[in-house]
Structure 1
Amino acid sequence: MKFTKMQGCGNDYIYVNCFEESVTSPQQLAKAVSDRHFGIGSDGLVLIMPGDNADCQMRMFNSDGSESEMCGNAIRCVAKYVYDRDIIHKRELSVETLAGIKYITINTDNNDIARTMTVDMGAPITKAADIPVFADRSPVTDLKLSAFDRNFTFTCVSMGNPHAVTFIDEAVSSFDVERFGNVFEVDEHFPHRSNIEFAEILSPTHLKMRVWERGAGETLACGTGTCATVAAACLNGICPREPVTVDLLGGQLTIEWNAEDGHIYMTGPAEFVFDGEI
């Protein structure tokens, strides 16, 4: 099987061109290729497929084999892959996901190479039952959870997949994400588990965030998680409805919750790493 490794802000996946390749057991394949000691090494597996109702389709599997509805960093890499390889060479692209069809604007350099992408991530979901999260009211901005004798307040948002965001009064760079993320991912309030974001406020338009991804553990970046973090910040009056820069372990993303159409727009890079065969 031929594959390509790509990364967006350090969030790395193995991409398989299913216009040419056939994958019959993606859950098992995701576990095998993601292993950083016995496989290729990645945060998961992404299948690039012909679309039924869009230009192409993306299926994304975490390193534990579970399938996710959507991945913001992965979808930018999918756009770069199909554009640069002339599979679908158009600046305005539609990609089918389990979270619906996403629309992407591809920004190129002078050599017509895709460098950054702006993704219309749609409107954030704030109704508790649709996220889903067990809570008494929507939006969920005051979900109080505890672990290891420490209390946290979470804001819950779905970007097609569930997220729980907490703002901490300390440097997130030294925060023990693994210890707390492990516990909160599987908290009983989250019937489908949840991605967990720990965010530090640098200014009203500048955040720093680390993420514990459902089914993958801590990763260097999470596109949907970054969007959810900015949405949570807006819901809590921390950030305005204008572009916000978010620092991640693997780079920066710019997120805007547009006040006119209610959609969240994510702009960030996508990078080719290498091609291979396994």
Structure 2
Amino acid sequence: MGSRKSGIVDPLPTPYSLFTVLNMTIEFVKYHGLGNDFILIDNRASSEPIVTPEQAVKLCDRHFGIGADGVIFALPGTNGADYTMRIFNSDGSEPEMCGNGIRCFAKFLADLEGSTNPTSRLRIHTLAGIIVPELTADGQVKVDMGEPRLLAEEIPTTLVTAGEKVINQSLNVAGQTWSVTCVSMGNPHCITFVDDVAAIPLEEIGPQFEHHPVFPQRTNTEFIQVTGRDYLKMRVWERGAGATLACGTGACASLVAGVLAGKCDRVATVELPGGCLQIEWSHDQKLYMTGAAERVFAGKIE
């Protein structure tokens, strides 16, 4: 009967058993950007993440783990950058970049460095290229997100031919034809404009957009309601994370889509379920995103 005694059986393994195989103590800090939340880990002593994608899934579990939309690692800089940022989503996949995540990353680095400078700029190496966040005097984070990529081969999508832009193209999802515009901010986005974002059955159709065969690397999907040329309401289904309260790259991509479709100006407020971001598509063709990032708590995994 093994270790079973008096009718008591051995407990089944739980997700907590993951933590015992790490064989180390890992300190972390939890941050959120408009409710899009992340576990931040100081990984500067190694060029590779000290947590595997499978372990990240367990850490992100909101019932048996810490709970988060992703785990972000602060690694040494490469190619002239001050630091490198790597991310594992809550499903273990690795995105190229994350707009809310990099704002949290900038705040995390300021805490690690013990910076007392009210404003500072850092060059961060990501899989989407060099991104430059700046801590502003009012406590917000302004991020130079770089230029959007608009050609089908850059997104990538097979919705049109490789060298074409994807603007107001028809896409059949869930038995309905949607007019979509696609943009890459170093990661893929599919944007569709709707009359009422609150009426979208996000949990039902979000996965169908994400895994649609015209997106070989899957896609993030934004549903946008235009309430004014300088104000957009957005709901998002994030690739690898599902429905989240905010998505910074998605807000940038949505403004670009709105400008390309003639629906909004180049500067606008984007309202997400977790709060608002200020987005500007400058005439130098770069996107600038400004918003909050908040420390929630710190802890240890032992």
TM bucket normalised to smaller: over 0.9
User: Which SS does the other structure have where 2:113 is aligned?
Assistant: coil
Could you tell me which residue of structure 1 aligns to residue 299 of structure 2?
Answer: 276
| 1:234 CA drift (Å) | 0.6
1:74-125, Cα deviation, whole Å (9 max, x unpaired): 101111111133267661111110000111221134xxxxx21111101100
Distance 1:92 1:125 in 2: 24
Identity across aligned pairs (percent)?
47
Q: Which 4+ runs in 1 deviate beyond 6 A?
A: none
Distance 1:146 1:139 in 2: 18
- Check if 1:257 corresponds to 2:281: yes
Q: Is the 8 A contact 1:254 1:268 kept in 2?
A: yes
- Check if 1:38 corresponds to 2:64: yes
Distance 2:140 2:55 in 1: 29
| 1:150 CA drift (Å) | 2.0
Could you tell me which residue of structure 1 aligns to residue 194 of structure 2?
Answer: 168
1:42-71, Cα deviation, whole Å (9 max, x unpaired): 001100111112111100111010000000
- Check if 1:208 corresponds to 2:237: no
- Check if 1:94 corresponds to 2:147: no
Report the number of matched residues. 270
Distance 1:160 1:151 in 2: 26
Q: TM-score, normalised on structure 2?
A: 0.86
1:147 equivalent among 173, 176, 181: 173
1:210-255, Cα deviation, whole Å (9 max, x unpaired): 00000111000000001000000011011122x2000001010000
User: Which SS does the other structure have where 1:274 is aligned?
Assistant: strand
Q: Is the 8 A contact 1:5 1:13 kept in 2?
A: yes
- Check if 1:74 corresponds to 2:101: yes
Give the alignment's Cα RMSD to 1 decimal. Answer: 1.5
Structure 1: gaps spanning 5 or more residues: 110-114
Could you tell me which residue of structure 2 aligns to residue 112 of structure 1?
Answer: none
- Which of these two proteins has the greater Rg computed from alpha carbons? 2
Choose 137-146 or 121-130, whichever is displaced more: 137-146
Q: Is the 8 A contact 1:6 1:273 kept in 2?
A: yes
Q: Is the 8 A contact 1:211 1:221 kept in 2?
A: yes
Higher strand proportion (structure 1 or 2):
1
User: Which SS does the other structure have where 1:12 is aligned?
Assistant: strand
Distance 1:23 1:203 in 2: 43
What is the identity, as a one-letter code, of the residue corresponding to 1:102?
Answer: I
User: Which SS does the other structure have where 2:290 is aligned?
Assistant: strand
Could you tell me which residue of structure 2 aligns to residue 187 of structure 1?
Answer: 212
Q: Is the 8 A contact 1:177 1:198 kept in 2?
A: no
Distance 2:148 2:135 in 1: 22
Q: TM-score, normalised on structure 1?
A: 0.93
